[in-house]
Structure 1
Amino acid sequence: MSAEALLPLLKSTFGFDAFRGRQGDVVDRVMAGMHTLAVMPTGAGKSLTYQLPAVAFSGCVVVISPLIALMHDQLRGARAAGIRAASLTSVDADFADTRQAYRDGELDLLYIAPERATGEGFRALLAARPPALFAIDEAHCVSEWGHDFRPDYRLLRPLLDAFPAVPRLALTATADRHTREDILVQLGIPADGLVLAGFDRPNIRYRVTPRISPARQLADFIAANPGPGIVYCPTRDGTERMAARLAGATGRSVAAYHAGLDPERRARVQHDFVASEDGIVTATVAFGMGIDKPDVRFVAHAGLPKSIESYYQETGRAGRDGDPAEALMLWGAEDFARARMRLSELPEARIAGERARLNALAALVETVECRRALLLRHFGEDPPERCGNCDTCLDPPARLDVSVLAQKLLSAVYRTGQSFGAGHVEAVLTGKRDERVAARGHDKLSVFGIVEGEEARLIKPLVRTLVAREALDTTEHGGLMLGRAARPLLKGEAPVLMAEPPVKRTRRERGGGAAANPVGDPLFDALRATRRDLSAEAGVPPYVVFHDAVLRAMASERPATRAELAAIPGVGAKKLEAWGDAFLAVIRQY
């Protein structure tokens, strides 16, 4: 039976008059009994390509899916469409009844996790009544080249091969060329079984900007985007802190979600979000894959995602209903520094691949060209040069050649001993003869005072750029040192181009009130009290610990990690080591 012949069933079951995109091509192959890998963007209707056949087949479709939440969301949707569906998971109380319903031929769809699907008990169940189709959802998990590899997926092949007459349909929204080829091999699907529907999500507007004051940046972004949204944070603690800040700043309902919460709390947060029309969740990446919510209006990243594949999948959770949605990424040099430190913890065979992923992310955050075009080219497409719906298309930045400034900056890092933070290096380059510079004789260096005028404002953005492209790296205590890509830049063998940094607006220009964090602000006062205690303990005047300007910057930018604190001018490696944790502890309380 062809896909065209199923149009009446499509209408009666799902209410659609026609297939969307490549849905019909996939259904054609499934109904013909052919093995297929369908790569379709989030929101393109992947689940319909096995749910419709499940209604048409006389047997049951077995769906292998990695997350209980995802299975149960899809289960509810299938049952609402009149499909006889069930799941076999660790939280299902009707386990025995479901197995019996399968044996009796009373199910159209059966959802199961890969670790349970590969057990002998489940294979015996299928042997008694072979399924009509195997559907492997989130199929990128089978590939070590994928961004979310799961070893349990590698164990599926023997199960599939035990039923050679049963067609298999692998589905994913996120797989580059190398990953697609690996999925085909790992799941025994022929090369001509690939159906590639494309990766473009034209309704999503992409924005990427340096992380300066994340809570304030996110609050402004949320204010401009009513409706449900997800804010991804790098750490569990970060989700809690960000939820509190955004709730206070926006007046919206904001809940934190991470794996450290008890199951009941996680379930409640997820339930409330799915049911809400304007709820916001601050979450680690543990949240989202299991959420089948079409009306998410925005996805924001408070830090660098793991890879372009992860970024594409996570931002794809916005606008699944096809209506306009926004994706914002805030990034910092310390994100790249931490990610590259973690490379040393990986098996040797994976380091090159993960480094390539980081470099691809660096290209995305640095580009002055169309971000969507760069994103789509990463997945092997040939898009137009401009999309008209990303930040670099809507507000094209000027392209600056900062090759000479990069040489000056790298030279200053090298000549000061590759152990000082960006603030100290900036002081040397701009000729600020403060106590620390003079005490170390850095005012005698050839790089002292060689940057002035307009060039000086580019130093901090350039540090971000050079860290992103591996020309700079950071020490354990936040100091700068030369990276593996520094040599050709120092020798003038490769140009350094960067986007013109955005002009920093005042609070009045943003529609706010008084200047941020003046004396009298509770957090600023708490930081001063801590400074008094530390200075008394050390037997030095308070200003020796940190100047007021440094405390104001802490209160304004609210750094959450040592690396973020080290980026504030006036916070050197030694002070960071001696007092950084004390100030971070205060900031976390506000």
Structure 2
Amino acid sequence: MTDILEHQLLKSLKSHFGYDSFRGQQQTIIENVLNKKDTLVIMPTGGGKSICFQLPATIFNGLTLVISPLIALMKDQVDGLNANGIKAAFYNSSQQSSEQQHIIEQVLNKELKLLYVAPESLSGLENILKESQISCVAIDEAHCISSWGHDFRPSYQQLGFLKQQLPNTPIIALTATADKATRQDIVDQLKIPNADQYISSFDRKNIELEVRPADGRAKQIIRFIEKNPGESGIVYCLSRKNTEQIAKKLNENGINADAYHAGLSFDDRSRVQEDFIYDKTQVVCATVAFGMGIDKSNVRWVIHHNMPKNIEGYYQEIGRAGRDGLEAKALLFHSYADVIQLQKFAQGASNEAVQMAKLDRMKQFSEATTCRRKILLSYFGELLGDNCGNCDVCKNPPKFFDGTVLAQKILSTIYRINQTEAIGTIIDILRGANNANILDKQLNGVKTYGIGKDTSWNHWQHYIIQLINQGVCEIAFHKNNALQLTDFSHKVLFDGQKVFVTTPVEFKKESKATAVKTKEKRTATNSLFERLRKLRYKISLEENIPAYLIFSDATLKEMEKLRPMSESEFLTISGVGQRKMEVYGDEFIAEIMDFMGSKIKKTKKTDTHLITYDLYKKGLSIEEISEQRQLKTPTIYSHIAKLYSDGKDINIYDFISKSDVEAIHQAKIELDSPNSLKAYYDYYNEQMDYFKIRLALSVIEKEAI
């Protein structure tokens, strides 16, 4: 790759996306695509997959066509691209035919850089599926093409025709989760057998992994959220009923939550999703369909109320937390009732054996007594040398003890009732319960009845699950989940074979005083961050775009740390590109300066716009000042606007015509004095530059037009 092209890539990266350098394999992948080579990208959620085709799209002459599975995903990505100054649109069945025709005309006129489309809607784009129009095809969520994958969609299997119709156009297929079999299936079905494959590390180090027993999970979820006040999160549930029950309990406890499932109308699902994306709803309790491809970067935690059916699904769902790289948490509740339910779901499926095997791996992960991240990564073929230090097993290693006597009590009970009862009944016998089930079956007469009454129900469950994992006993799923003895049971009962089990982990409720203290500390520490977050939320409501599309939490954190108080300083923040500097820079800098108060005088010796003024008075043009100061011309124009507003001797009409000022004045009247520059920009169909809008407003304000 030439130095010129590399410079162009870095320039586009900063200008459009606000980043100074590429992450991981991004640059290599982008170069491969620009060299028109077919490419398969396996990169974790939040790893920066989208930039791998969005940045080349800014350089290619023609259109980049993006195949995407969900309408919500398309809208989210298109909003983000337009916010970054990249012309993009989506085409799908939710649009009127006139709107669809307008989009096709935009493509024919080369007015768009990216167009998102669902596979079902490709037939409507037949007239533009030509190499004279299409420079690149990106297939997002590519695992959907494979029946080996965890989210198979038949509509994806038609996509092989794209390579036949556009043989010289590079295809880039991307997904966060694909094992070896799925990867092979993707390249085969897309007819790109020679695609260069880039498999990034699956390790999301910023996500803390934790698994807990499922007893009292609703109360545990409430306590967890109370310890993370104000932070966005998702609770994944196995059934519609669960989503509604948990959402109701959260609301009853003062937590702003909503339910999302397939039983809701399209409008209700859209509303729930939008309220979450726009930070109007803190928590969504959802079935697994929720969140696919939603690039909400400030989700701080994901809870699994029920165990997922496979590791791919679990990995993808926890990947929706911490996409901005900041600390995030993934909490999974595990119960054998969930395992049994998922096994029932898998029975009779065309790929039942595959589903059962994947469920078994998920169960092994949930019941692990070694580093969970090692297990998770090894599933995807990635080996982790050292323990991660950021999972519950690493942070609180299990303590083993000799549980032989406990095991013998359990096995003896199973034997004495002829191996006919499930886990719950075995525990009730051991604890001497007097419920209807025990009395009706006269199980209170079993010799082991009541011998374990000093051990809690949850602890007995913990021990039995470990015996099942070790093969000391087993579940007969075809006999109403009855516990059965194994060959190993005899050795424990009669041959002196030892059994070692772990001590159950207790989850203590945090005192209210501690919770309040934690909240106060968090609020005090993040006071500037909170002010920036409120400003971001205000702007998001004014512009009707999600807050995280303005700036991510990570970008706000960097602003809090570095406290930029000039445009040049603001541009150094990761996530701030030229477009966002022009649109939002003034308001965020003003907020930071207001927060700093009198400290500014001590820390700022020279205001950057005054340097521009000195050069202007020397007779330098805007372009000459821009070159000498190594700042963008829009930044210099913003200095001119401020200098004029501050009463400096500026001949403002050298830079903007009176007709443009009148046009902005008219827009101000019709829009009823909007607060954002973007409102004016949209009013004139993106045909008037931001710097002109800024200059015109400074004239209107100064001259009280």
Q: Which residue pairs with 1:319 in the alignment?
A: 322
Structure 1's 451 and 317: CA in aligned 2 closer, same or farther, altered over 3 A?
A: same
Q: Does the CA-based 8 Å contact 2:128-2:134 persist in structure 1?
A: no
Alignment of 1:151-190 (within 5 A): 151-190=154-193
Taking structure 1 as reference, are residues 131 and 434 closer, same or farther at Cα in structure 2, changes over 3 Å only?
A: closer
The structure richer in helix per residue is: 2
2:14 to 11, 14, 17: 11
- Following superposition of structure 1 onto structure 2, how do residues 81-230 of structure 1 map, counting pairs within 5 Å? 81-93=84-96, 94-117=99-122, 119=123, 121-127=124-130, 129-190=132-193, 193-226=196-229, 227-230=231-234
TM alignment of 1:39-438, pairs within 5 A: 39-93=42-96, 94-117=99-122, 119=123, 121-127=124-130, 129-190=132-193, 193-226=196-229, 227-249=231-253, 251-276=254-279, 279-347=282-350, 350-400=351-401, 402=403, 405-406=406-407, 408-410=409-411, 412-413=413-414, 415-429=416-430
The alignment covers a number of residue pairs equal to 504
- Structure 1 residues 299 and 148: CA distance shift in structure 2, 3 A: same
1:518 corresponds in structure 2 to: none
- Residue equivalent to 1:521: none
Please give the alpha-carbon distance, in whole angstroms, between the structure 2 residues aligned to 1:207 and 1:170: 32
Deviations 1:466-524 (A, max 9, x none): 667895447799x64147xx635435599976532123647879989xxxxxxxxxxxx
User: What pairs with 1:486-497 in structure 2 (closer than 5 Å)?
Assistant: 487-492=486-491
Unaligned runs of at least 5 residues, structure 2:
516-705
Could you tell me the percent identity over the aligned residues? 40
The SS at the match of 1:111 is strand
User: Who is 1:515 aligned against?
Assistant: none
Is the CA contact 1:337–1:467 (under 8 Å) kept in the aligned structure 2? no
* 8 Å Cα contact 1:362/1:468 also seen in 2: no
Rounded Cα–Cα distance in structure 1 between residues aligned with 2:109 and 2:511: 69
Between the aligned partners of 1:46 and 1:156, the Cα distance in structure 2 is: 20
Per-residue CA deviations over 1:62-100 (Å, capped at 9, x if unaligned) read: 000000000110001111122121111111231111112
SS in 2 for 1:92: coil
In terms of mean alpha carbon deviation, does 310-319 or 459-468 score higher? 459-468
Task: Note the alpha carbon deviations across 1:98-122, whole angstroms, 9 max, x for none.
Answer: 11222222221010011222x3x43
One-letter amino acid matched to 2:81? A
Distance (whole Å) between structure 1 residues aligned to residue 261 and residue 456 of structure 2: 42
The 8 Å contact of residues 414 and 481 in structure 1, kept in 2 or not, is answered as no
Matched letter for residue 243 of structure 1? A
1:71 to 1:509, Cα distance in 2 relative to 1, 3 A: closer
The answer (yes or no) to whether the contact 1:228–1:277 under 8 Å persists in 2 is no
Letter in 2 for 1:67: L
The one-character-per-residue Cα deviations of 1:360-396 (angstroms, maximum 9, x if unpaired) are 1111111111111111111111113311111111111
**AA partner of residue 301 (structure 1):** H
SS of the residue aligned with 1:374? helix
Greater Rg over alpha carbons, structure: 2
Deviations, residues 374-423 of structure 1 (Å, cap 9, x unaligned):
11111111113311111111111213565674565355335425554534
* Structure 2 equivalent of residue 573 of structure 1: none
Alpha carbons of 1:26 and 1:431: their partners in 2 closer, same or farther (altered >3 Å)? Answer: same
Taking a change above 3 Å as real, the CA distance of residues 90 and 400 of structure 1, as seen in their structure-2 partners, is farther
Whether the 8 Å contact between 1:373 and 1:386 is mirrored in structure 2 is yes
Tell me, in whole angstroms, the C-alpha distance in 2 between the residues paired with 1:260 and 1:441. Answer: 43
Match of 1:587 in 2: none
Deviates more, 1:86-95 or 1:2-11: 2-11
C-alpha displacement at 1:123, in angstroms? 3.5
- The residue type equivalent to 2:279 in the other structure is S
Once the two structures are superposed, what CA deviation does each residue of 1:148-184 show, in whole Å capped at 9, x if it has no partner? 1111111111222221111110101111222222222
1:49–1:412 distance in 2 versus 1, CA, 3 Å? same
Q: Which residue of 2 aligns with 1:570?
A: none
Quote the Cα distance in structure 1 between the aligned partners of 2:235 and 2:436. Answer: 41
> Residues 511, 158 of structure 1: CA spacing in aligned structure 2 closer, same or farther, 3 A cutoff?
same
SS of equivalent to 1:127:
coil
Letter in 1 for 2:239: T
Aligned counterparts of 1:502 and 1:168: Cα–Cα separation in 2:
49
Q: Does the Cα contact within 8 Å between 2:257 and 2:281 map onto a contact in 1?
A: no
Secondary structure in 2 matching 1:387: coil
Cα 1:410–1:125 change in 2 (3 A) is farther
2:107 and 2:133 in contact (8 A); partners too: no
- Structure 1 length-normalised TM: 0.78
How far apart in 1 are the matches of 2:104 and 2:498? 64
Measured at CA, do residues 440 and 335 of structure 1 come closer, stay the same or move farther in structure 2, by a change above 3 Å? closer
Counterpart of 2:6, as a letter, is: E
Q: 1:128 to 1:502 in 2, by over 3 A?
A: closer
Q: 1:301: Cα distance to partner?
A: 0.9
The AA in structure 2 aligned to 1:366 is E
**SS of alignment partner, residue 341 of structure 1:** helix
Tell me the amino acid that sits aligned with residue 221 of structure 2: L
**How far did 1:308 drift?**
0.8
- Indicate the residue corresponding to 1:565 in structure 2: none
DSSP-derived class of the 1:171 partner: strand
Change (3 A) 1:422 1:313: same
TM-score, length-normalised on structure 2? 0.66
Aligned equivalents of 1:293, 1:457: Cα separation in 2: 37
- RMSD between aligned residues: 3.1
Secondary structure in structure 1 of the residue aligned to 2:297: coil
Could you say if the C-alpha distance between residues 504 and 58 of structure 1 is closer, same or farther in structure 2, counting changes exceeding 3 Å? closer
Q: Secondary structure at the match of 1:155?
A: helix
d(CA) in 2 for partners of 1:496 and 1:28? 57
- The one-character-per-residue Cα deviations of 1:517-544 (angstroms, maximum 9, x if unpaired) are xxxxxxxxxxxxxxxxxxxxxxxxxxxx
Distance in 1, matches of 2:309 and 2:324, equals 26
Unmatched tracts of structure 1, length 5 or more: 513-590
Describe the SS at the equivalent of 1:52.
helix
The amino acid across from 1:490 in the alignment is: S
| Shift in Å, 1:433 | 8.6
Helix, strand or coil for the counterpart of 2:129? helix
Between the aligned partners of 1:495 and 1:41, the Cα distance in structure 2 is: 42
